[in-house]
Structure 1
Amino acid sequence: MNQSTRTQSRATANTPTKDAIIGTDITKVDPASEQGFYDFYLNEHQNIICRRLHFAGSSFGLLGLAKSVKTRSPKPLLKGIAAGYACAWVGHFFFEKNKPATFKYPLQSFVSDFRMYGDVLRGNLSLSDRKFDKIGRK
């Protein structure tokens, strides 16, 4: 091993990994582990505007579901789902500036979105400032 390789190895050893800086990397997510995926999911939703858009989108989806049941028509549900995903994707592409996890893990992302929705309703996650979050901090 020459001098430059040793210096490079030492610099790499002292440099924090991407995981240490921003949480769990999507390439290392174990979709079978619900909590592991949810931790990753929360890490991908740190921007407050993105969270608000997700909350609004989930609300549109639930309202569409309720109206679909009431009217016995699938149209409101389809519109609610479309509005929900539109809100979420705007949040990711323009505010969070990341790729939605739903592209790689659609089912786990859908479940985690409603888990996040419930955490917001219970007051465990804030839509005003992340410093008020009671979960998801590492």
Structure 2
Amino acid sequence: MWLVLCCFSRELSLQKLNKRLVVQFKTFAEFYPYYLAEHANPKCRAMHYIGSSLVLAVLAYVLITQQWWGLVLVPVIGYGFAWLGHFVFEHNKPATFKYPAYSLLGDWVMYGQFLQRLVGLKRQSS
């Protein structure tokens, strides 16, 4: 009986470990489809776009006014809006917690694609 309990306990521990394993992406091209899947909710994406836009506005303000303390706001605004989108709308943990560098790059690529779609829509309507 003890052997059965020991093996069962070990199997449960392995299952928990497997759930915690993080997929290792070798390239950003491999990572990006995963990143987009983690941002399937349009409201979550909108929160990312708002945060990224505000980050650019703060950076412009800091450069123009040379109020360097404003740089402190950049990660607070950028991550704050993104994480709020994940917790409120997407109901998942931000990819930043597992893949910080790829996630930062993914956010700006996704933002760039959003802006390209906006420009494309404006061209089609005129």
1:27 counterpart (22, 26, 29)? 22
Give me the identity figure in percent. 43
Q: Give the secondary structure class of the aligned counterpart of 1:116.
A: helix
Equivalent pairs counted in the alignment come to 98
Q: Give the secondary structure class of the aligned counterpart of 2:101.
A: helix
The structure whose residues are more often helix, as a share, is 2
String of CA shifts for 1:85-125, please: whole Å, max 9, x gaps.
1110110011101000111211111111000000001118x
Q: Report the structure number with the largest CA radius of gyration.
A: 2
Gaps of 5+ in 2: 1-20, 119-126
Equivalent residues in 2 for 1:68-83, closer than 5 Å: 68-83=62-77
Equivalent residues in 2 for 1:31-46, closer than 5 Å: 32-46=26-40
The 1-side partners of 2:31 and 2:44 are apart by 18
Deviation at 1:53, TM superposition (A): 0.3
* Alignment partner, residue 61 of structure 1: 55
* Alignment partner, residue 85 of structure 2: 91
The 2-side partners of 1:55 and 1:39 are apart by 18
The 2-side partners of 1:42 and 1:29 are apart by 16
If asked which structure has higher relative contact order (CA below 8 Å, sep 6+), I would say: 2
* Alignment partner, residue 117 of structure 2: 123
Q: Give the secondary structure class of the aligned counterpart of 2:108.
A: helix
Equivalent residues in 2 for 1:92-107, closer than 5 Å: 92-107=86-101
Letter in 1 for 2:22: T
Query: Structure 1 stretch 35-44 or stretch 68-77: which is displaced more?
Result: 68-77
